[in-house]
C-alpha cells in the first residue's frame, strides 16, 4: 500500500492511495463504519501495528471493488484525485528522525578518504519537515551553500531496542524518500574542507554543521509511505535526484556501506525506536558539495527525488 497524509483545515488526515485517487480515511468514516476504528493520523495507525494496517488494506480493497461505495465516498469528498491532492509529509511528526551519514561508496569515493568502520548519524528536528510541493526556503543568513541530498528512508513500525540484524526487518513498517537539505557554510571551515577535498576536515566540520541541517523546510519527506511488503528487497532500490530536469544523483541502495538491517541493529543499541520514527540512510554521489564545481540550490530551482515504488518528492526553492 501507499499511505499518505492529506493536508486539512484542522490537521493531517491519514489516507491510502487507491488507483489514481486517494481515500481520506478520516472523511471516509462517515460512510464506512470500519474506518471509525482507525486513528486519524498515519503515525497513530502505525502504533496499532499490524491491526491498523490490515484494516486500512481491507477498506482500500473494498472501496476499489464496490462502485456504489466509491460514488458515495466521492460525493462526500472522501476521495480526491492523487495529482491534485495537497499532501503533508507522510509522517509529519515523528518522535525521531535519525540521519545516517557517509553511507554510500559512491559518495565516499567522490569526497576522498577511507570508508568508515562504523556508521555515524545525527538528528534532524521536526521543525524542518515539509511535504511534497512545499517550498524549500533559503535562509537569509546562510543562503549561498544550501545543498541537496536525496535519500531512501526507513519508517519504523514497531517499538524496538537492542535488536539483532536478523530480526531488524520485523520492525520496519515501510519506506519513504527524503531530501537532507543542508546549509554547508554554517561553519567557515566547510568552505576550506570542500575546496581541499579533505574528508577528515570535512567530517570534522560536519560535526559542527548539524545546525545547518535543521533550518525550517530543510527536511522534505514523502510523497508516500510505501508498506514493506511492496518493496521486497530494500537493498535493491533505485532513486534519482533531478534539479530543473538535470539528473544530479542516481542512487542504488545496493551501494550502501552499511545495510539497513545493520543500521537498525546498531542504532537500536542507543535509541528506542517507536512507530513512525524515520531513519534516512545516507546520500549517494552527486550532491552539490561533492560536484566539481559545487552546485548549490538557488531560488527558482525545482528539486525532484523519485523512486518508482514510492513516487516523486518535489519541492521548489525560494529565497527567504
Residues 214-247: tens digit of each pLDDT: 999 999 999 999 999 999 999 999 999 999 999 9
pLDDT band at 112 (very low <50, low <70, confident <90, very high): confident
Q: Mark whether 74 and 129 lie in a shared domain.
A: no
Q: Is the pLDDT of residue 108 over 90?
A: no
47, 81, 115 — which closes off a domain?
A: 81
Q: Per the domain annotation, does 90 fall within a domain? A: no
- What pLDDT sits at residue 90? 98
Percent of the chain with pLDDT over 70: 92
Q: Per the domain annotation, does 65 fall within a domain? A: yes
pLDDT band at 110 (very low <50, low <70, confident <90, very high): confident
Q: Which three cell numbers stand for residue 303?
A: 528539486
242 contacts 248 by C-beta, under 8 angstroms? yes
The Cα–Cα gap between 158 and 232 comes to 18
Q: Mark whether 105 and 142 lie in a shared domain.
A: yes
Q: Mark whether 55 and 101 lie in a shared domain.
A: no
- What pLDDT sits at residue 116? 84
pLDDT band at 187 (very low <50, low <70, confident <90, very high): low
Q: Per the domain annotation, does 87 fall within a domain? A: no
Q: How many CB atoms lie within 10 A of CB 242?
A: 18
- What pLDDT sits at residue 190? 52
The Cα–Cα gap between 93 and 157 comes to 14
Q: Mark whether 55 and 128 lie in a shared domain.
A: no
Q: Mark whether 172 and 63 lie in a shared domain.
A: no
Q: Mark whether 125 and 66 lie in a shared domain.
A: no
The more confidently predicted of residues 101 and 95 is 95
Q: Assign residue 310 the CATH number of its domain.
A: 3.90.850.10
Q: Per the domain annotation, does 237 fall within a domain? A: yes
Q: Cell 534519482 maps to which residue? A: 240
Q: Mark whether 53 and 183 lie in a shared domain.
A: no
Domain residue limits at 6: 2-81
Q: Mark whether 194 and 117 lie in a shared domain.
A: yes
Percent of the chain with pLDDT over 90: 82
Q: Mark whether 140 and 218 lie in a shared domain.
A: yes
Q: Per the domain annotation, does 190 fall within a domain? A: yes
49, 81, 113 — which closes off a domain?
A: 81
Amino acid at each position: 500500500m501507499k499511505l499518505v497524509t492529506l493536508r486539512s483545515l484542522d490537521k493531517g488526515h491519514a489516507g491510502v492511495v487507491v488507483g489514481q485517487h486517494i481515500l481520506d480515511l478520516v472523511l471516509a468514516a462517515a460512510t464506512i463504519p470500519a474506518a471509525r476504528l482507525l486513528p486519524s493520523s498515519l503515525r497513530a495507525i502505525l502504533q496499532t501495528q499490524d491491526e491498523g494496517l490490515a484494516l486500512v488494506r481491507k477498506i482500500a480493497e473494498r472501496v476499489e471493488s464496490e462502485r456504489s461505495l466509491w460514488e458515495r465516498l466521492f460525493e462526500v469528498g472522501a476521495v480526491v484525485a492523487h495529482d491534485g491532492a495537497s499532501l503533508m509529509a507522510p509522517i509529519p511528526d515523528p518522535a525521531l528522525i535519525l540521519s545516517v551519514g557517509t553511507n554510500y561508496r559512491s559518495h565516499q569515493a567522490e569526497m576522498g578518504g577511507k570508508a568508515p568502520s562504523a556508521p555515524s548519524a545525527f538528528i534532524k528536528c521536526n521543525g524542518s519537515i515539509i511535504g511534497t510541493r512545499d517550498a524549500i526556503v533559503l535562509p537569509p543568513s546562510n543562503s549561498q551553500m544550501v545543498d541537496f541530498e536525496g535519500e531512501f528512508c526507513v519508517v519504523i513500525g514497531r517499538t524496538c531496542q537492542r535488536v539483532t540484524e536478523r530480526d531488524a526487518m520485523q520492525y520496519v513498517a515501510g519506506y519513504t524518500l527524503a531530501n537532507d537539505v543542508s546549509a554547508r557554510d554554517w561553519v567557515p571551515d566547510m568552505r576550506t574542507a570542500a575546496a581541499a577535498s579533505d574528508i577528515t576536515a570535512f567530517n570534522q566540520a560536519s560535526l559542527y554543521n548539524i545546525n545547518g541541517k535543521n533550518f525550517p523546510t530543510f527536511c522534505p519527506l514523502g510523497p508516500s509511505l510505501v508498506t514493506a511488503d511492496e518493496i521486497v528487497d530494500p537493498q535493491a532500490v533505485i532513486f534519482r535526484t533531478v534539479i530543473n530536469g538535470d539528473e544530479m544523483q542516481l542512487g542504488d541502495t545496493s551501494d550502501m556501506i552499511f545495510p539497513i538491517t545493520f543500521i537498525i541493529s546498531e542504532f537500536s543499541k542507543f535509541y528506542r525506536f517507536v512507530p513512525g520514527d524515520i531513519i534516512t540512510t545516507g546520500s549517494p554521489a552527486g550532491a552539490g558539495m561533492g560536484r566539481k564545481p559545487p552546485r548549490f540550490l538557488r531560488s527558482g530551482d525545482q528539486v525532484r527525488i523519485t523512486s518508482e515504488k514510492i513516487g516523486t518528492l518535489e519541492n521548489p526553492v525560494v529565497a527567504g
